[in-house]
Amino acid sequence: MSTKSNEVMEAVASRIIASIEAGIVTGTWQKSWAGGAIAMNAVTGNQYRGGNLIALWVFGEDFKSGYWATYRQWQSIGAQVRKGETGIRLIKWSPIPCKDHGPDERCQSCGKMVPNVFTVFNAAQVDGWDGNPENIRNEDERLADAEDFIKATGAAIEHSDEGRAYYRPSTDSITLPRFESFTNAEAYYATAAHELIHWTGAESRLNRDMEGKWGDDSYAGEELVAELGSAMLCATLGISENPRPDHAQYLKFWVGRLRDDYRLLWNAASAASKAVQYVEALVAERQAEAVPA
């Protein structure tokens, strides 16, 4: 892996570690990725995913716009990055030629990928771009959409008075506290989103390692996937996502693991993006089936 790509991954992990450590001391930690908006390329319309999305959230938190592009991409649509502006470095993984194929071919199936670092700038850093219209929904619309989205997944969701939220692999079901026990509707849907990400890890879906127990790496890794994935899903749904008190117990564990291997964050972000894409595709398919011909 290139030195530049290592620097990018380490910088993101270091920023999150610093945020967690400061929060542990003051007791006021807010996830660096909480409340982020969906980040899109202003030219292609593609969403940034995985570690790149996390990088934009933690280093671009001061920008209100969710649109980004490289210097040349902005120029291609008649916009100009202002002099002195500093961009955010991201990583693009590209397949590399392998010996079993021609020199001009790039082989996806061989799984050989090489990281390339590139820099993007926010729409707020350029002149000459009017911007794409934002799809602004009021709170009632966002909450209704979130309810419809969760129902459309087809996940078995039960409600109980035990005060805990969890996914149980043995029954392939999600248990949530009753709606009225949450401080607000967004807290309920954010918690549901977290458990839905766990739900995608079942063997019949994305087949992640779900056998871990508290204190081991796989357990903490799956929790990090769910934390990141729920933030991504909440961004899609327009729901605010704030730290849950029962997740504070993982903080010191994550700090230690990220210090040992900063790539853990990037790997978890990649798995989280796959989980979100799985749920989004499933919901789109089921909602399309429900539309009368």
Average pLDDT value for residue range 244-249: 54
Which helix (H) or strand (E) element contains residue 118?
Answer: strand 113-122
> What are the domain boundaries of the chain?
3-127, 139-290
- Residue 54 binned pLDDT confidence (cut-offs 50, 70, 90): very high
- What mean pLDDT, rounded, does the chain reach? 86
User: Mean pLDDT across the stretch 97-110?
Assistant: 59
Helix, strand, coil share of the chain (percent; to 5): 50, 15, 40
- Torsion from C-alpha of 54, 55, 57, 62, nearest 10 degrees: 170
What local confidence, expressed as pLDDT, does residue 227 receive? Answer: 87
**CA pair distance 260, 124, nearest whole angstrom:** 36
| CA gap 226, 269 in Å, rounded | 9
Question: C-alpha angle 252/258/263, rounded to 5°?
Answer: 155
**What is the reported pLDDT for 97?**
67
Mean pLDDT, range 16-33, rounded to an integer: 68
Residue 249 pLDDT: 58
Pairing of strands 166-168, 156-160: unpaired
What band does 264 get if pLDDT is binned at 50, 70 and 90? confident
Amino acid at 157: I
